[in-house]
Amino acid sequence: MRKVFVVLTGAGISAESGLKTFRDAGGLWEGYRIEEVATPEAWQRNPRLVLDFYNMRRREVKRAQPNMAHLKLAELERQFDVRIITQNIDDLHERAGSSKVLHLHGEIFKMRSSLHPELIYPIEGDIHPGDCAEDGAQLRPHVVWFGEPVPAMADAIAWVEEADIFAVIGTSLQVYPAAGLLFQLSQHRPDVPVYIVDRQIPDVPIHPGWHLIEQPATRGVAIMADRLLSSYQS
């Protein structure tokens, strides 16, 4: 039976595909503050600005291409039961070929009713003011804003509980509850091998025996894959 390899990815893995993050410039994303475009209060205050912002993000994601880190994780499905928990709203893991991807913070190519979160629809173009769901409510991006609950956490925790190997790639481990997945694993299942891949290893408690790979995601994931294959190939 193949080992269950659970991977938590963050903005650092998509940054090498050209997608910027809030943390690139002290909390700014191309001149926008988080409070202006990524909170329920921002939506109530200026929904047109929020729609425009995510319409721009959607166009950027469409132009971006999966990088070697995305592709290498997809390749590892040949040897492992790879399950990717991502904090990213882009679809680069799916386009790279990964078959099990759980989006903690939503998906840029989906939209939903602003009143009933279960009314979700695919979208490729822009969302405009006046575009409504079947319940008559304004459509909004299907993303989890700061201050909103993370419905996918229960599924993420279930995956982590089944992990034989765990990796963290391209995340600062500063955004909760996602960051809590690693700490939950280290407390309750300290026997599970952990790989951390990042340009700068996060400032978190490091356990003895963890594999730290301080490299950009494209290089670091390749190193990690080589080590995994050497350790687990029969």
- Residues 6+ positions from 180 with CB-CB distance below 8 Å: none
| Measured distance between the N- and C-terminal CA atoms of the chain, rounded to whole angstroms | 11
Active site residue: 70, 93, 105, 142, which one?
105
In what side-by-side order are the strands of the sheet with 139-143? 120-122, 106-113, 139-143
Say how many C-beta atoms besides its own lie within 10 A of residue 231's C-beta: 11
**Phi (first) and psi of residue 167, to 5 degrees:** -135, 150
CA diameter of the chain: 58
207 is catalytic: no
3-state secondary structure of 220: helix
Q: Where are the alpha helices (DSSP H) in the chain?
A: 11-15, 34-37, 40-45, 47-63, 68-75, 92-96, 153-161, 180-188, 217-232
* Omega of the bond leading into 149 within 30 degrees of 0 (cis): no
- Residues 6+ positions from 203 with CB-CB distance below 8 Å: none
Active site residues: 105
